[in-house]
Structure 1
Amino acid sequence: MTQRIARRFQISTLAAHLVLIGFTLLALAPTLLVIMNSFKPRKEIFGAPLALPSFETITLIGYDTVLKRGDILNYFQNSLIVTVCALFFIILFGAMAAFALSEYRFPGNRLIGLFLVMGIMVPIRLGTVGILKLMVSLGLANTLFALILVYTAQGLPMAVFVMSEFMRQVSDDLKNAARVDGLSEYTILFRLVLPVVRPAIATIAVFTMVPIWNDLWFPLVLAPGESTRTMTLGAQSFIGQFITDWNAVLAALTLAIVPMLILYLMFSRQLIRGITAGAVK
């Protein structure tokens, strides 16, 4: 029996690794294509898009255009501020709500959980008009704080759903022992429970940051000003109605890919643990 369980665990772990590797290769293929073509002249981009850039044709004209024509550093800073702040609030409030739903039994517990799950199924973009009116009435139009609020509301349902499932697996004896020792509920959450559910936090961070960083809809609607443009919206300035500077577009997209790769390298181990834990369960 023990050998059978160990074998099932090894098979589940191997399957999770293979799935993750497959998705990684599928995601990296267009990414590598964008990076390669960002170092090519326009003729080579359309003539041989799948070929590697050679020493004779390699060019940095796209990056030069991006640095001179667009305020790329400001765009990058805005995207970084919005993404980091939104992730912080999503994990903070999501962890607190998930701990309350998984730890305490009170009237309406399941209804609140169901309400939050519905937030995953209903796209927040359906309320764009109402959100825009609300931000204008609050004086938050064309500000980064408006984007942070919207993305926090967008990511909370998934964060609560995922973390509550992981928190239910934390030993009750461990938490009760901490209460006997006089620890507060906040201390139990932040010093005892959250370190145990790090794979869930990493999973939420990866799957939440990518849509926030790459989003074009809400930056275009809520913060289209030059001083509040995000990286993705700033790249659109090189796309015209009649002429598109493809070298600059590909260079801007390449610069926007860098944080995603850094994030994946930071959270890849915890992400694999989270997927493996779900597969074994």
Structure 2
Amino acid sequence: MASIKQNPGSTVVVHSILAFFAVLALSPIAIIIINSLKSRAAIFASPLALPTPETLDLSGYASVLVESNFVAYFSNSMLITLSALAGTILFGAMAAFAISEYKFRFNTTIGLFFTLGLMIPIRLGTVGILNMMVAADLVNTRTSLILVYIAQSLPVAIFVLSEFMRTLSADLKNAGRVDGLSEYAIFFSLVVPLLRPSMVSVAVFTMIPIWNDLWFPLILAPSEATKTVTLGAQVFLGQYVTNWNAVLAALSLSILPILALYLVFSKGLIKGITSGAVK
């Protein structure tokens, strides 16, 4: 089989474009972190300059960690995000297994119904969701946010996981049935281990919107005990005076966990995206 030779010129162009978009995406994060380390006057005087010994100011981090309930906000965001991801992956994988494995009436219709969730924003149903949470007495609870985020993320999870499940060998599953394994045993012991790369892809794509969301925490869980990091940062935004040091410090601290998780899962993300590209 002849080897495929790459054009050096095209490689340089492609890498240059990728580097440009990487800088474009990372620049706002870098600006936020840099300015969180500077005094208020230096932020407005030279927002793109690096902090110097004269402009270095950590009062924003002191305000966030000492004068606010940031640790509680952070814990709420972590609990809600991780719980929503676990529910999304579990229920999404089970639904995708049923849709891709079994042939039944309205199979295609149900798949299209879930796909509609990719095109219809869940925020259009905010009034109905709020009414349901009030009726269930779940307002100002973390459970309300977890349920909403699972519902929000399921269409993506089902769409991605069902496509991966269709590429799995049917002989492996049939061999498990011949050996007397139940459908649950086949799913959890044979299918789930093979879906780990795609599950990582689903987790990465869904955790960022959940972590950064401001809409539903503001509507469903605005109390002090259930505030998330994104909503907690609003504490430092005033009508007349805004503590920009604290706002930028809060945003910097809220960025780091997601950035760390993305770096941890990046290898699995790339593997999950490319696993079906080459047969």
TM-score computed with the length of structure 2 as normaliser? 0.92
State the shift of 1:277 in Å: 3.2
- The aligned residue for residue 100 of structure 1 is 98
State the shift of 1:117 in Å: 0.2
Q: Deviations over 1:229-257 (max 9, x none)?
A: 00000001100111111000000001101
Mapped to 2, the partners of 1:18 and 1:84 lie a distance apart of 36
- The aligned residue for residue 171 of structure 2 is 173
- The aligned residue for residue 30 of structure 2 is 32
| Matched ranges for 1:180-219 at <5 A | 180-219=178-217
Paired residue total = 274
Q: Which has the higher contact order (CA 8 A, sep 6+)?
A: 1
State the shift of 1:22 in Å: 6.1
Mapped to 2, the partners of 1:43 and 1:78 lie a distance apart of 33
Runs of at least 5 residues in structure 2 that lack an aligned partner in the other structure: 7-11
Which one-letter code corresponds to 2:274 in the other structure?
A: T
User: Contact between 1:116 and 1:160, CA under 8 Å: does it hold in 2?
Assistant: yes
- The aligned residue for residue 51 of structure 1 is 49
Mapped to 1, the partners of 2:171 and 2:14 lie a distance apart of 30
Structure 1 stretch 191-200 or stretch 151-160: which is displaced more?
191-200
| Matched ranges for 1:75-224 at <5 A | 75-224=73-222
User: Contact between 2:164 and 2:276, CA under 8 Å: does it hold in 1?
Assistant: no
In the superposition, relative to structure 1, how do residues 32 and 115 fare at CA in structure 2: closer, same or farther (>3 Å)?
same
| SS of aligned partner of 1:227 | coil
In the superposition, relative to structure 1, how do residues 173 and 219 fare at CA in structure 2: closer, same or farther (>3 Å)?
same
More helix by share: 1
State the shift of 1:33 in Å: 1.1
State the shift of 1:210 in Å: 0.4
User: Contact between 1:16 and 1:279, CA under 8 Å: does it hold in 2?
Assistant: no
Mapped to 1, the partners of 2:38 and 2:198 lie a distance apart of 40
Which one-letter code corresponds to 2:25 in the other structure?
A: A
Structure 1 stretch 195-204 or stretch 140-149: which is displaced more?
195-204
Runs of at least 5 residues in structure 1 that lack an aligned partner in the other structure: 9-13
Mapped to 2, the partners of 1:188 and 1:166 lie a distance apart of 16
TM-score computed with the length of structure 1 as normaliser? 0.91
Structure 1 stretch 80-89 or stretch 170-179: which is displaced more?
170-179
